[in-house]
Amino acid sequence: MKRNALSLACMFPALLLCLSCLIPTAFADIGPKPEVTITVVNAPEGELYLDLLAEGEPADSPYPNSNGERNPAILASLRSLEGDGWVLAYTTGLARRAPVFGDVRPGENGAWRFSYIGLPETFRVAAATADQAQAAEVPYTRDFVGNIVYDWEANTVREATPPPLRFLARLAATLVPTLAVEGLIFWLFGFRERRSWLVFLAANLATQTGLHLAVGSMLAEAGWHFLNYFLTILIPELAVWVVEAAAYALLLKEHDRYQRIGYALVANLASFVLGYFPLHLLYSFLRGL
């Protein structure tokens, strides 16, 4: 019986890999896309247009956008920032790249939003009025989802949320539910000693921190849809299972090794499935950090 339980536990990674193969390739373009939201502070008087300057060559046939309905004088001022290998990613478009979606004008919430797979990873924020145009001197490298603040007067870019605080908030969104689910199963498996619970807490803190370091801001997007969650978390979850199974087998003293590894299987499978729901409920909050 114990050996059967161990064999079943060892089949867990293979089972998840097989399930991933059932996901059709037709879903390749489904799900959240890279996105950056920009808020401008100390803005000048009058209408302000904003775009992203990226290194590259201009597209031969720019992707159609709504700039034809915009103020031509401000657009000309914005385009004056191009040159020396820097191209406006939305207004002009980059050669051999997918388009960027967005608008040179702010949305209803007063912020600018650019997205889609053509969004450059590194760019300089470019802004212009009819009389003045400027671009941040220091390029900014985004995460999968970025929220930044552009200071017009200082001509600088900063994160909307300090990175350490953003990391801790995202870590809490997965760590707390994981401890709740896996802690209950840990108790049901008969682990009662104080030392066992310390091992449990240390193992989960280590693996959850590693998960966030490995996946980064993609983890915030995992709550968009269960399919996206599955594809984002699957491979890291396999690594978590292996690490925790080894840690529990070696460090726990209660019960035999088969029961410790069996616990790792059941607990991680449960938290993998149930972990989607807190990320889904917190989706808007996490991606807004």
pLDDT at residue 197, as a whole number: 97
Residues 14 and 61 in one domain: no
Residues 62 and 135 in one domain: yes
Q: Is residue 155 part of a domain?
A: no
User: How many CB atoms sit inside 10 A of residue 160's CB?
Assistant: 15
Q: pLDDT digits over 27-79, tens only?
A: 445 567 889 999 999 999 999 999 999 999 998 877 777 677 789 999 999 99
Residues 24 and 40 in one domain: no
DSSP 172-217: HHHHHHHHHHHHHHHHHTT---HHHHHHHHHHHHHHHHHHHHHHTT
Residues 23 and 40 in one domain: no
Residues 168 and 216 in one domain: yes
Q: List 113's β-bridge partners, or say none.
A: 37
Which residue segment(s) compose the domain that 259 sits in?
A: 2-30+163-287
Q: Is residue 148 part of a domain?
A: no
Residues 96 and 187 in one domain: no
Q: pLDDT digits over 204-246, tens only?
A: 999 999 999 988 878 888 888 888 888 888 889 999 999 999 9
Residue 288 confidence class, pLDDT cut points 50, 70, 90: confident
Whether the predicted pLDDT of 179 surpasses 50: yes
Amino acid (one-letter) located at 175: L
Q: Is residue 149 part of a domain?
A: no
Residues 177 and 217 in one domain: yes
